[in-house]
Each structure stands twice: as structure tokens, then as C-alpha cells.
Amino acid sequence: MSEHKIMDHPLIKHKISLLRDENTGTRDFRVLVEEIAMLMGYEALRDLPTELVKVKSPVCESMQPMISGRKLAVVPILRAGLGMANGILALVPSAKEGHIGLYRDEVTHEPHEYFCKLPENIEERLVILPDPMLATGGSAIQAVDFIKAKGCKNIKFMCIIAAPEGFEALKKAHPDIDIYVGTLDEGLNENAYIYPGLGDAGDRIFGTK
Ligand code: PRP
Ligand code: URA
């Protein structure tokens, strides 16, 4: 049974409001994206299995829970997903990292793939797919198509802001994946930008235009 979750934590809400502010500069924007990804990652990784292992404290030996050997891969969707990757990796430092490069055509809004490099044995791993923006859903759907074609079955997509259109499209195309959304916005404008949104996430993270 897949999980679809919209975050409900005041810290996440506060930080997303700061991200939206057009006066938030590149440096603060990057820090906020990473912090939000970490807070969301805490929620998204809630179901990681644990196993009891022997731990010897200064007082005695006992059996204590540790994350069991499930392999993880964090695969940000370039470019903007890169901004979230380190926040998640801070929680699971031994996870491998892959990359899928997609850009949206400015006129058709269709995603185009330009890069892909994935860790070995990707099909055995839980794959976390971060991208701050889920607008039409085209990029996320294509990235999940791609990961599934490599044999992956356990996929968690994470975004900071989703438009209802993209959220519905992703759930319909891939009902079997978990989806974590920082906040659900009102909709898409005529350029398929999320409103109120935060503008172009990649440009704001990397300081490009
Ligand atoms: C943005 C964003 C998503 C995509 C969302 O990337 O980071 O990948 O658009 O839009 P969609 O849901 O309509 O597909 P963009 O194509 O601007 O590339 P960038 O991250 O390199 O700036
Ligand atoms: N990509 C972005 O970076 N922002 C949007 O609002 C939509 C797509």
C-alpha cells in the first residue's frame, strides 16, 4: 500500500514561506531547501525497518534497534533536486547517490532527459527521488518511468511544492510509489508555473536566470 503524504509541520510550513519570498537570496534559499529536505526525509523514512543488535554500553550488554541492511539510493532530478539531496543524505550518510537530468521545454513544458547515472544494483535499493517542484508532473512521471524500467520497485518521490494537477497526474501514472509533498499549492499559471509557488527552483538554487 503506497503512502501519499502532505507535510503538516510548522517548521516545514515556516521554511517554505521563507522560500517563496522573492527577497530570499541564493545563499538562504539553498540552506532552506536542504533543511526542508531533511525535515521531510525524517517523515519519509519513518518506515525504514530496524533490527535488534547487541550493543554494549558502559553499564551492560543489551539488544537495541538499528536500521537493518536495506540499501538506499538518493537520486535527485537535476538540477533543482540536487539542492535537496544533501539534506536527505545527512540522515542516511551511507546511501548511494545517482542523478537523472531532465529539463522542461519552455514552450511545450514536456520533460527532456539529458543525463542519467545510477548506483550499482539500483533494482535492489529503496530509491528516494527528490525534486522541489511538482508542476504538471511530467518530469516526475518520466523519472519514475525511468527508474522502474531499471527494475526498481521501492520508490519514494519527495517535492517541496506541488500543484494539484501534478500531484494527481503522478498518483495516477504511478499509484504504487510513495509521494511526500511539503505543501500543495493552488494551481498552475499559463506558463505551467506553480502559483503562488516560488518561481524557478533551479534558478533560485543556483543563482542562474
Ligand atoms: C523544474 C523542476 C522539475 C520540473 C517540474 O525543473 O525542478 O524538475 O521543472 O515541472 P513539471 O512537473 O511540469 O515537469 P526544470 O525543467 O526547470 O529544470 P532545472 O531543475 O534544471 O531548472
Ligand atoms: N519548475 C519550477 O522550477 N517552478 C515551477 O513553478 C514549475 C516548474
Q: Number of folded domains in the chain?
A: 1
**157-185 average pLDDT score:** 98
24 flagged as catalytic: no
Residue nearest to atom 13 of ligand 1 (CA): 136
Tell me what pLDDT residue 70 has. Answer: 66
pLDDT digits (tens, 9 = 90+) for 172-202: 999 999 999 999 999 999 999 999 999 999 9
171 is in which domain, residue-wise? 4-206
Q: How far is the CA of 79 from the centre of ligand 1 (A)?
A: 8
Whether the CB-CB separation of 64 and 53 falls below 8 Å is answered with yes
Coil, helix or strand for 160?
strand
List C-alpha distances in Å: 59 to 53, 55, 62.
Answer: 16, 11, 10
Query: What mean pLDDT value characterizes the chain?
Result: 96
What is the CATH classification number for the domain harbouring 76? 3.40.50.2020
Active-site option among 104, 125, 178, 183? 104
Tell me what pLDDT residue 209 has. Answer: 83
From the number of C-beta atoms within 10 Å of its C-beta (0-12, 13-18, 19+), residue 109 rates as middle
What percent of the chain clears pLDDT 90, i.e. is strictly above it? Answer: 95
pLDDT digits (tens, 9 = 90+) for 42-64: 999 999 999 999 999 999 999 99
Distance CA 77, CA 178 (A): 16
154: left (phi over 0), alpha (psi -120 to 50) or beta: beta
Whether the CB-CB separation of 11 and 39 falls below 8 Å is answered with yes
Q: Give pTM, 2 decimals.
A: 0.96
Distance CA 24, CA 63 (A): 47
